[in-house]
Amino acid sequence: MLKARVITAVVLLAILLPVLFQPSPWPFAWVTVVLMGAAGWEWARLNGLPGAGALAAGVALALACVWTLLIGGLHAPPPWVWSIASLAWVLGGAYALRAGPAGWPRIARGARLALGALLLWGAWLAIVQAKVHGINFLLSLFCLVWMADVAAYFCGRAFGKRKLAPAISPGKSWEGVWGGLAGVILLGFTWVHVIDVNVAVDSPSLFTLLVQRHGWISLLAIVFLTAMSVVGDLFESLVKRAVGAKDSSNLLPGHGGVLDRIDALLPVFPLALALISL
């Protein structure tokens, strides 16, 4: 298992790092189209669309992303797009988590498939737009989510006692959430006062933009984004638990599926762009 994880990670880095650091956002955009198509296929399978139907759903989502690129290029969409995506994640996430794994299958399959396609498309559009903003901005968003996850894992292992959502993800604890938040705040402070000041970056980070536009309220924004990264993780766990799946697929040996790797990113990117567009 460890060997498979390492090999998969190396292959993914070999694909993603060159396009990530390309000055042009186009190569990155095309690679993410493929990843979102795979995520769409996984989502369809998890929500009861088997075989060729799930494959068609993944292809349809990828084609929707391609169509978006062809008609709009890399131009920024109007800010209301991010507002709608934010509302969908906040209200939809709260509803889904409240209903729990037992409540998810009660929603009509067509509605579940459509919701997943819209959320994935919106997240893809936000990820591409983050690359348009700049590499430093994009990396700060990725690192926010990764720090929240890593710090939560270690703090939860060391101090976790109170379960966060035992019916959805028994391993998560409130202590882990607070540890993840502390890690993100420390990361943001470092990015604003060290990286963006002393390193020749191509763009301001998310943290610097939030401070410039919202002052001390930026701390609340960071708390909100960290919380929503947890919601994204729990939301995918809820869907998997509802159908008895351990991973979203086996596309990434040792890591599960694409959704397993990007679940916490999905709400954070559109929400971050909504916050900096205010």
**Boundaries of every domain in the chain:** 2-277
Select from 133, 117, 19, 138 the least CA-distant residue to 59. Answer: 117
Angle in degrees, CA 69, 70, 73, rounded to 5: 55
- Amino acid (1-letter code) at residue 238: L
DSSP tag of 106: G
Q: Per-residue pLDDT for 163 more than 70?
A: yes
pLDDT, mean of residues 115-127: 95
pLDDT of residue 2: 60
Burial grade of 89 (CB within 10 A; 0-12, 13-18, 19 or more): buried
Q: Give CA–CA dist 152/175, Å, rounded.
A: 8
Token pair for residue 250? Answer: 């086996």
Q: Per-residue pLDDT for 187 more than 80?
A: yes
Q: pLDDT category, 1, cuts 50, 70, 90? A: low
Q: How do residues 221-243 score in pLDDT, each as one tens digit?
A: 999 999 999 999 999 999 999 99
In the block, residue with structure tokens 């109007």 = 78
Give the CA distances from residue 148 to residues 1, 75, 179, 222, 265, in Å, rounded to whole numbers and listed in that order: 25, 30, 8, 11, 11
Q: Give CA–CA dist 195/246, Å, rounded.
A: 38
Neighbours of 8 (CB within 10 A): 17
- Pair 121, 65: CB distance under 8 Å: yes
Q: How many CA atoms lie within 13 A of 208 on its CB side?
A: 18
Run of H or E residues at 169: strand 169-173
pLDDT, mean of residues 58-84: 93
Q: Give CA–CA dist 34/275, Å, rounded.
A: 27
pLDDT of residue 9: 80
pLDDT of residue 66: 96
Q: Give CA–CA dist 142/261, Å, rounded.
A: 12
